Amino acid sequence: MAVDENLKIEMGKQGVFVTTLQELYNWGRRSSVWPMNFGLACCAIEMIATTMARYDLARFGAEVFRPSPRQADLMIISGTVTKKMAPQVVRLYNQMGEPRYVIAMGACAISGGPFKQGYNVLKGIDRYIPVDVHIPGCPPRPEALLDAFITLQKKIDAQSLTGENRPRHLNPEGQGEFPVPEQGEHDLEPPSNTLVWPAPMVIR
Partner 1 sequence: MITPILARQEGWNRQPEIVPDGEGELLEVAMGPHHPSTHGVFRMDVTLDGERIIKLKPVFGYLHRNHEQLGETMSYLAIMPYTDRLDYFSSLSNNWGYALAVEKLAGIQVPERAEYLRVILAELTRIQNHASSVGFLIQDMGASGTPLMYAFKEREKILDLFESLTGSRMMCNYMRFGGCRVDTTAEWLNQARKVVAGIPAFADEFEALLTTNEILMARTQGTGILRPDLAVNAGITGPLLRASGVNYDIRKVDRYGIYDRFDFKVPLGEHGDVYDRFMLRLLELRQSVRILEQALKDIPEGPIMDPKSKIRGFRPKPGEAYGRIEAPKGELGFYVISDGTGNPYRYRVRPPSFVNLTILEDMCLGQNVADVVLILGSIDIVLGEVDR
Partner 2 sequence: MKTIEEIKAAIEAAVPGAGVEIINNPSPSAQHSLLLQRETALAVAQFLRDDAELAFDYLSNVTGVDWLDKEIVEKVKVKKTVTKTVDGVEQQVEETVDETRKRVEPGYLETVYHLYSMAKKHGPLILRLRTANRTDQVELPSFTPIWRSAEFQEREIFDLYGIVYTGHPDLRRILMWEGFKDHPMRKDYVEPDDFEYEPTAHDAVAKRAQEHQAKVAAAQNGGAA
Residue 53 contact partner, candidates partner 1, partner 2, none, CB within 5 to 8 A by sort of partner: partner 1
Q: What is the DSSP string of 142-200?
A: HHHHHHHHHHHHHHHHT--SSSTT--GGG-TTS----PPPEE-SSSEESSS-TTT-PPP
In the complex with partner 1, the residue whose CB is nearer, 28 or 118, is 118
Residues 35-64 that bind partner 1 (CB under 8 A): 37-42, 44-46, 48-49, 52-54
Q: Is 201 helix (H, G, I), strand (E, B) or coil?
A: coil
- Closest to partner 1 by CB, 141 vs 155, is 141
Least gap, CB of 155 to partner 2 (angstroms) = 25
Q: Binding of partner 1 at residue 181 (CB under 8 A)?
A: no
Q: Return residues touching partner 2 (CB under 8 A).
A: 83-84, 111, 116-117, 119-120, 123-124, 183-187, 191-192, 199-202, 204
Rounded to whole angstroms, how far apart are CA atoms 6 and 17? 13
Choose the contact partner of 161 out of partner 1, partner 2, none; CB within 5 to 8 A by kind.
none
Spatial CA neighbour of 97 closest among 76, 75, 72: 72
Q: Does 193 bind partner 1 (CB under 8 A)?
A: no
CB 144 within 8 A of CB 135: yes
Q: How far is the CB of 160 from partner 1 (least distance, A)?
A: 33
**64 near 34, Cβ under 8 Å?**
yes
**CB count in 10 Å sphere of residue 42:** 16
Give the list of residues 6+ apart from residue 22 with CB closer than 8 angstroms, or none: 1, 160, 161
Say whether the peptide bond before residue 99 is cis (omega within 30 degrees of 0).
yes
* Contact flag: residue 29 with partner 1 (CB under 8 A): no
Q: How far is the CB of 105 from partner 2 (least distance, A)?
A: 19
The residue ranges that bind partner 1 (CB under 8 A) are 37-42, 44-46, 48-49, 52-54, 67, 69, 79-80, 82, 84-85, 88, 92, 114-115, 117-121, 138-139, 141
